Amino acid sequence: MHDVPSKPPRPGRLRRPALIVVAAAGLGAAILVALVVAVTAMVPAFYRDRLDIAAEAGAEQAARRLITKVVGLQAAAKQTGPWEAAITEQEFNAWLAVDLPRNHAGVLPAGVTAPRVELADHLVRLGMRVGVGPLTAVVSCGLEIRLREANQVECSVADARVGSVPIPRGPLLHAVAARLEPLGFMTEIRRGAGRGVLVVTLPAGGGPGGRRSTIEALAVAPGELLMAGETKEGR
C-alpha cells in the first residue's frame, strides 16, 4: 500500500492568517496612537489663556518691569533695612514669553518651550510644552506655596499632569529638590496631610560686611506675588 503524498498548503491559505495578524496589529497600533494623542492633547485653560501674551500690547514693557524689579530687589537686599517687592502674573508671563526666549534660551532644558504661570490663592500653576515637532504635550502642575518660617518655604504638589494623564507627585518633588540644591538651597521632603511636602531653606546671603537678608513674608495672591524682608548688619 502506497502512502498518498500530502498536498502542500495553498499560498492563499498561508497568507490569509498572516494578513489577519498584520491587520490586527496595525489596528491595535492605530488605536494606541489615537489614545496617546487624545490623553496628551489636552491643554489646561490657564495655559491656553496665557500662551499668546507676547502679542499683547504692553508685553515688552511688562517684561522690562520684571527685570527692573528684580534688580532693585537684589540691590535693596544688600542694604541694611527692610525691603519688599510685588511682582504681577502679567510681568512673569511677559518675561517668560518675550525676554526668556530672546536672551536666555539656554536656560530651559532641551525640548521644553513656552512656560507660563498662573498665580492664585497660595497656588502657583506652571505649564510648559514638552517634546519635539508633533510629538508634544503640555505638562502642568499646581504648587501650593507658603512661608513656613523666616527664610523657609514649604511647597506641595496639588496636581500634576501630562495632558490629561496624572504624574506621580513624589518623584516630581524630588526632581524639584534636585534642581534647587545646586543653586545653594537646602531642601528636605517631609510628610504632611497625607502627601509629601518639600521644605526649602533659602540662603540668607546679604551684602558686604556680613549682612544677612531674611525673607519674613511671602504670599501668593491671585495675579500677584508679594514678598518682604529685612537685611541686618552682621554680628
pLDDT score recorded for residue 118: 97
* Overall average pLDDT of the 212-234 stretch: 91
Structural domain includes residue 29: no
pLDDT at 74: 87
Site of grid cell 492605530: 30
Residue 13 in domain:
no
| Residue 178 covered by a domain | yes
Query: Does the residue 14 lie in any domain?
Result: no
Share of the chain above pLDDT 90, in %: 48
Question: What pLDDT score was predicted for residue 47?
Answer: 95
Judged by average pLDDT, the poorest of 9-13, 171-175, 187-191 is 9-13
Quick one: average pLDDT of 99-116? 91
In a domain, 7, yes or no: no
* Beta-ladder partners of 112: 130
Its pTM stands at: 0.78
- On whether residue 199 sits in a domain, the answer given is yes
Q: Looking at the 3D structure of the chain, how many domains does it have?
A: 1
Residue 67, amino acid: I
The pLDDT of residue 77: 84
Beta bridge partners of 136: 131
Rounded to a whole number of angstroms, the CA Rg of the chain reads 27
Residue 146 has pLDDT above 80, yes or no: yes
Residue 12: pLDDT above 70? no
Give per-residue pLDDT as tens, 150-159.
999 999 999 9
Range of the domain at 167: 45-232
Q: Which of 31-35, 176-180, 215-219 has the lowest mean pLDDT?
A: 31-35
Which residue, 217, 213, 209, 218, is CA-closest to 230?
213
First to last CA, the chain: 114
- Distance from C-alpha of 228 to C-alpha of 219, rounded to nearest angstrom: 9
Average pLDDT rounded to a whole number, residues 82-109: 93
Taking residues 199-226, what's their average pLDDT?
83
User: Is 81 within the bounds of a domain?
Assistant: yes
